[in-house]
Structure 1
């Protein structure tokens, strides 16, 4: 649009600043260069002020808006002056000058008439919302909406409805908010206000989050970001809202990174002080959830100072809540801290803030830690009221408070009932998430309830009860396959492009060429793939049947022992299941076992190279120490038969075959007893189709594949160019047995992008999750295929765990670097056992025994683990 000197055309710049902000800025500057009339100069300066207020430097915004006010006064238009005063008032509030801003808005209300006055009321309502004065915001917007509607002002009516919905959300009135958002969306559909439309999509994302739909919230916020990007405008409010959703999804570290990046960008342009305070609060919350109390304290202290200076009581109370929580997490506790938490809780309750129960829970928790149950009880009682209504995480807060009340009263039954009800709430919420990563990470919200239940079960003295509660919140993300959309062309396109870029980058690295551009594109595609998967809403309902210890003992039979390692208050409790009963043995500290496991991994890495024989006694000694820490006296009661180990997530890299009492045994590992039962009861597919895959770049050339192809005359062999990801996936789907010899890469920074190297690029975890049914048995013969990321309460993300919910009953994989040449005889011996009808764990035990007794081959055998039950 080209602006002429006409009055209507210049006035059109005001709606244009929210439709095409950068175009409006350019044309407003052009108006000022043409010696405009006072009226036109006022509009042009106001447009520039709005742009600078929302997307640039607030100091420049104030300068232009004051000029706009002065030109409006010269023009002699009371309504023009009222309109500018409203814009100036909002800018002053955003710059932290709250009193001046409200004064300007008040003058605007008094100066304006009719339709203009309604627009000013809307902007004062917006300022009240920014300040956290929700009652006043609703009153002003209530007065504005009928006038705007009567005037037929579609744009401002839609803005007012969007604002009213946002205020309703802040007060927890989700249904009212959704009704207003729907009405506003109908109005936006008939306008060309692209920036306002993007803001409406963002607001719908917030509403979806408040109603408990995290995937929809992530999808809508991503859509809003794409719209803002097309307009070239910053997205600070979007970052604040995304941080909130990311934290609810268990992605606290990502939320912290996003908030800190937005703060730096805001500081670089001299942006709004109000937004900076809100971003600091988001960063503090994220750091607190990420168990970084020092960062949480620093961010929260600064946020408190800014909010106090801006006279934003509602926001200041939120920041103080995070600050007190961070100090408590850092080990500080005192009567004053209890009083501070109670004061914040009272303030939040008085303001109708949904965070009030969380504050009461914190006050009660601190009092309990100080040994003052009588002081804690009234706070916990108030917090517990939220357990019956509201969004899932609010009800979780209520059940946590109820569990703490029961523990203080000495009621084991009360603790377990509250924990059960709370985890049921989180189960329902978790199953709305389609992505396995989100399901796994969301379990962190239930970690406290699970720990309280385990402590109560341990105190009650019943090993079977402790087993049941150990299973209640272990490896729950594996209880159902991830949701897979029937067709998502965009996701498939991203994954194809990702493989191509990753393959080109790998080739360039091998040739010694720089790859920064390829790596940037690879990271971009990873973000796109991950975003598409996180948007998926859950469809599966998981395993409805609760864990039954009696059924487990029945399926174990007489000879098999299942050893579940529960960790209670940092110490390993060994639950030995077999012969119709569950026995408990105390073992060592988890932290000591983790440290010893790292020493073992380092030793195995050394032994993978010839000439490191001297390290063998050191590794064997570490294995003995590990056994003492992990099994303790239970090692003497394992019997003679097979052993199933169910370790906590943080111990899944332990090479269990190295432990002295397990070296000659049939040993398998499972993420949970429930997973082992499902694997045990999984039936092999008809036909028993066999697939052998050889990836590129192996030191031995995947020598075992050629020899296995001769043994399995009817097997499908994929190598060279045929070992492409699409072909491999097609053959793996529903196979009876698959053997993949390919370089494995574990991604600590993104476990879902852990991969096996194929001819056309990486085969990643996301690819495996697209299988209709993964192979009944699968052998991964190269390094790092059995490495996992531990997330959530006790969940694992990696190649192996992607297969288990999809129909795989048994996996052999490697948890440490190994010597490729030494792997070949191990794999050939393993397949000999399978050909003789042995299950994977037994075949692996016999394969180890068949290897030469030198340190290199012994270390290779120890590095491989059998997972599952087949």
Structure 2
């Protein structure tokens, strides 16, 4: 009968059914006690806490009737843990202490483990370590593999909470070796989950995500809830820059937990995770609400460690919501003192917060004291802890009036984050992780402008601009499961598109498509990056030399919400101040709306309104710099939030050779990229175009030996094979931008969508690529100043120049534009030169003019 107890964590469903079967008969007291305990454990960990307590109390009553002290002690241990999880801390700890007193030998060691576990739940880590250390030798001596492995796992988890990653690794490794000798499937899943937490604490986000996903798969096979896993995944997602996803996961888990009447302790922890995520997702009011409730729950549960962390989030959220007061400084300082006393690694974060608020109030002496405490963490620990320290050091230097000190602290902090980001193999994670350096980058830009003028401001603007594009993402592994998912995704997406055209229902297909998207994204997020090689630092002198006498590069930096125009050329960098970024963003949206209207015949009356909006955009974005552009080509380097500006609409740029680049470094790299030897043009025509891709047959005749892929030949595998290393690719295919998942933005091929994830598998993307369809130059702005989309996937992979479209266009009007563009290329022009001439060759009506403005040349080819 006692074999049912370990079965709860080996085969939970079977254990529950067998226990209920025992109780359906007339069991003896000992058997009844075990059966009720099994049901109580199942309900405690996977179900309703009310039912758990009911069954565990019955188990204790039957144990008393069985007159077995050890049986009663064991049940008291289980009951004590359940009471703690139900928020009845005093009753739970009393039950556990009575269990320790009643038990003897091996049983007493098991109850000691549960007492240690409860101390960990409560945040009393030193007490937890003391009790689990007392239990382990007895469990080992009894050759109790299962409970020894559990005790080692618990000790490792406590070490992690205290920041001792190496000790935790050792214990996790020993526990995992023991688990492999057992059939405890749930415990094995928990071990994988714990290893994921250890990987995260060691700074390895991709491995952490992979292990947590593996643990989730194991739990799913057992049919058990995963609330602790959700809490840990939220922590990893936040560190990866995926705060909105962490908030959604925490709220979903909260709903599920409340639905089954689950553990009160887990509810408080999920509320804390949700509050942290909301704070990082710039939802301070949501963070305040979640954190305030978490504080109340933790206080009622007597969980001081957790309450202190919740108060830290609550104070930070109130500060983010605009509150500034001496009381808030005192709150943050008190939390910092508590966290130091508890040995919590988050203490520097609280000191940094206290210092920030004190600076806001002008309390420089108080700020220095708190920031100095936070700055000590810059010397060691995980990357994000060191980032906290360098941020504190930068604020100290700013308060002391030392621009040089600010720049040094910012440089060191951003170097730490660079190293961390390069461990991430997925371009999405690299881009999103930059948000953690946004403050340092802004501080450095301000200090750079004060201490070194325009050239230094340019250097620091480049230091944190489009850094995700500074190196190609790691190629997705030759993973059969990933390749299978990509193939299945194309098939399902194609079937869904066909069903929509025929008016058939698609919910089932859409659900399967979303499932496959999650699988594909998950596998790519697991990729680890290569070790950082240092890379080439941006050199303003090298840029100016490459620009020469005629070309002007205009980099737009944003300081305190206002656009700063850095005009580079003729051996110098000049700074001009333009308008407010928020106003420019609003005007750009108006322009996009106008271009959408002009894409339809009969909208001629809208043309003056769009042109007037273009003039206002120029005033906001270029200001007085517009009069100093000279007569030669212009390269625009905008911040990510201005990616939808149709730059050719601005009056001073309308007749120019114009290109756009995510950064000056990216332009330099494109300028110095050599075309492949002997590459043939590749012409692709996808299905469903209004004109049927009418330019492709004429281009095929013009290029002679070009590879033409159309109709059933235009499949994703065939297209990718031909694009790899091509000199020039022209793709006439429907484009779809996915704001909710930019790496699933696509071009429609004969067998389904060609997505960004597919392009990332290329060894080298085409040297030049022309995308003659709508929405191919749309991006998602993420992180500090990063863009995710089709064009930004191509640029790090070897493409030196792209022509793409940022707005819906009229298909028929695109054809003459594309033909004129290729005429220019035939004459040896660059993409930007050819596009300028092609615009001039179009009829002067509103429809064709809007079409020309909607297309942009990116890069330098």
TM range (shorter): over 0.9
Indicate which of 145, 162, 169 corresponds to 1:171: 162
Question: Which residue number corresponds to residue 197 of structure 2?
Answer: 206
Q: CA offset at residue 375 of structure 1?
A: 1.1
Deviations along 1:460-519, one digit per CA (max 9) or x if unpaired, are 251000000000000000011111144111100000000000000000001111100000
Question: Which residue number corresponds to residue 413 of structure 1?
Answer: 404
Q: CA offset at residue 543 of structure 1?
A: 6.2
Per the alignment, in what secondary structure is the counterpart of residue 357 of structure 2?
helix
Indicate which of 344, 347, 350 corresponds to 2:338: 347
Whether 1:243 and 2:257 are equivalent positions in the alignment is no
How do residues 733-812 of structure 1 correspond to structure 2 at under 5 angstroms? 733-812=724-803
Per the alignment, in what secondary structure is the counterpart of residue 577 of structure 1?
strand
RMSD over aligned CA atoms reads 0.6
Per the alignment, in what secondary structure is the counterpart of residue 697 of structure 1?
coil
Q: CA offset at residue 424 of structure 1?
A: 0.1
- Give distance in 2, aligned partners of 1:647 and 1:168: 46
Q: CA offset at residue 689 of structure 1?
A: 1.2
- Give distance in 2, aligned partners of 1:540 and 1:759: 39
Q: Which range moves more in the overlay, 595-604 or 457-466?
A: 457-466
How do residues 257-296 of structure 1 correspond to structure 2 at under 5 angstroms? 257-296=248-287
Q: CA offset at residue 459 of structure 1?
A: 2.3
Contact 1:596–1:625 (CA<8 Å) still a contact in 2? yes
- Give distance in 2, aligned partners of 1:362 and 1:799: 38
Question: Which residue number corresponds to residue 537 of structure 1?
Answer: 528
Whether 1:457 and 2:445 are equivalent positions in the alignment is no
- Give distance in 1, aligned partners of 2:452 and 2:605: 46
Question: Which residue number corresponds to residue 6 of structure 1?
Answer: none
Per the alignment, in what secondary structure is the counterpart of residue 71 of structure 1?
helix
- Give distance in 1, aligned partners of 2:161 and 2:532: 31
- Give distance in 2, aligned partners of 1:64 and 1:671: 63
Contact 1:479–1:542 (CA<8 Å) still a contact in 2? no
Question: Which residue number corresponds to residue 145 of structure 1?
Answer: 136
Q: CA offset at residue 854 of structure 1?
A: 0.4
Per the alignment, in what secondary structure is the counterpart of residue 718 of structure 1?
strand
Per the alignment, in what secondary structure is the counterpart of residue 11 of structure 1?
coil
- Give distance in 1, aligned partners of 2:820 and 2:45: 68
Indicate which of 312, 315, 324 corresponds to 2:306: 315
- Give distance in 2, aligned partners of 1:579 and 1:293: 47
Question: Which residue number corresponds to residue 475 of structure 1?
Answer: 466
Closer, same or farther: CA 143–540 of 1 in aligned 2, 3 Å: closer
- Give distance in 1, aligned partners of 2:570 and 2:290: 55
- Give distance in 1, aligned partners of 2:10 and 2:324: 52
Question: Which residue number corresponds to residue 393 of structure 1?
Answer: 384
- Give distance in 1, aligned partners of 2:853 and 2:778: 14
Q: CA offset at residue 540 of structure 1?
A: 5.9
- Give distance in 1, aligned partners of 2:234 and 2:699: 51
Q: CA offset at residue 446 of structure 1?
A: 0.3
Deviations along 1:14-49, one digit per CA (max 9) or x if unpaired, are 000010111100000001111100000000000000
Indicate which of 631, 636, 647 corresponds to 2:638: 647
- Give distance in 2, aligned partners of 1:167 and 1:704: 66
How do residues 75-114 of structure 1 correspond to structure 2 at under 5 angstroms? 75-114=66-105
Question: Which residue number corresponds to residue 595 of structure 2?
Answer: 604
Question: Which residue number corresponds to residue 376 of structure 1?
Answer: 367
Per the alignment, in what secondary structure is the counterpart of residue 559 of structure 1?
coil
Per the alignment, in what secondary structure is the counterpart of residue 850 of structure 2?
helix
Question: Which residue number corresponds to residue 182 of structure 1?
Answer: 173
Q: CA offset at residue 701 of structure 1?
A: 0.3
- Give distance in 2, aligned partners of 1:643 and 1:841: 10
Q: CA offset at residue 723 of structure 1?
A: 0.3
Indicate which of 444, 449, 452 corresponds to 2:435: 444
Contact 2:816–2:842 (CA<8 Å) still a contact in 1? yes
Indicate which of 567, 579, 587 corresponds to 1:588: 579
- Give distance in 2, aligned partners of 1:278 and 1:457: 42
Per the alignment, in what secondary structure is the counterpart of residue 818 of structure 1?
coil
Contact 1:479–1:543 (CA<8 Å) still a contact in 2? no
Contact 1:250–1:442 (CA<8 Å) still a contact in 2? yes
Question: Which residue number corresponds to residue 835 of structure 2?
Answer: 844
Contact 1:481–1:540 (CA<8 Å) still a contact in 2? no
Number of matched residues? 861
Closer, same or farther: CA 555–784 of 1 in aligned 2, 3 Å: same
Question: Which residue number corresponds to residue 116 of structure 1?
Answer: 107
Whether 1:126 and 2:151 are equivalent positions in the alignment is no
Question: Which residue number corresponds to residue 12 of structure 1?
Answer: 3
Whether 1:29 and 2:20 are equivalent positions in the alignment is yes
Indicate which of 702, 722, 725 corresponds to 1:731: 722
Contact 1:243–1:282 (CA<8 Å) still a contact in 2? yes
- Give distance in 1, aligned partners of 2:555 and 2:757: 29
Indicate which of 643, 654, 660 corresponds to 2:651: 660
- Give distance in 2, aligned partners of 1:255 and 1:542: 31
Q: What TM-score do you get using the length of structure 1 for normalisation?
A: 0.99
Contact 1:600–1:622 (CA<8 Å) still a contact in 2? yes
Q: CA offset at residue 299 of structure 1?
A: 0.3
- Give distance in 2, aligned partners of 1:790 and 1:632: 24
Q: What TM-score do you get using the length of structure 2 for normalisation?
A: 1.00
Per the alignment, in what secondary structure is the counterpart of residue 838 of structure 1?
coil
Q: CA offset at residue 544 of structure 1?
A: 1.0
Q: CA offset at residue 455 of structure 1?
A: 1.2
Question: Which residue number corresponds to residue 221 of structure 1?
Answer: 212
- Give distance in 1, aligned partners of 2:449 and 2:39: 66
Deviations along 1:614-650, one digit per CA (max 9) or x if unpaired, are 0000000000000000000000000000000000001
Q: CA offset at residue 766 of structure 1?
A: 0.1
Deviations along 1:586-614, one digit per CA (max 9) or x if unpaired, are 00000000000000000000000000000
Question: Which residue number corresponds to residue 500 of structure 2?
Answer: 509
Q: CA offset at residue 370 of structure 1?
A: 0.9
Contact 1:483–1:540 (CA<8 Å) still a contact in 2? no
- Give distance in 2, aligned partners of 1:99 and 1:543: 55
Question: Which residue number corresponds to residue 35 of structure 2?
Answer: 44
Whether 1:488 and 2:487 are equivalent positions in the alignment is no
Q: CA offset at residue 542 of structure 1?
A: 6.2
Deviations along 1:323-354, one digit per CA (max 9) or x if unpaired, are 00000000001000000000001001100001
Indicate which of 664, 678, 681 corresponds to 1:673: 664
Q: CA offset at residue 456 of structure 1?
A: 1.0
- Give distance in 2, aligned partners of 1:603 and 1:257: 35
Contact 1:600–1:619 (CA<8 Å) still a contact in 2? yes
Per the alignment, in what secondary structure is the counterpart of residue 644 of structure 1?
strand
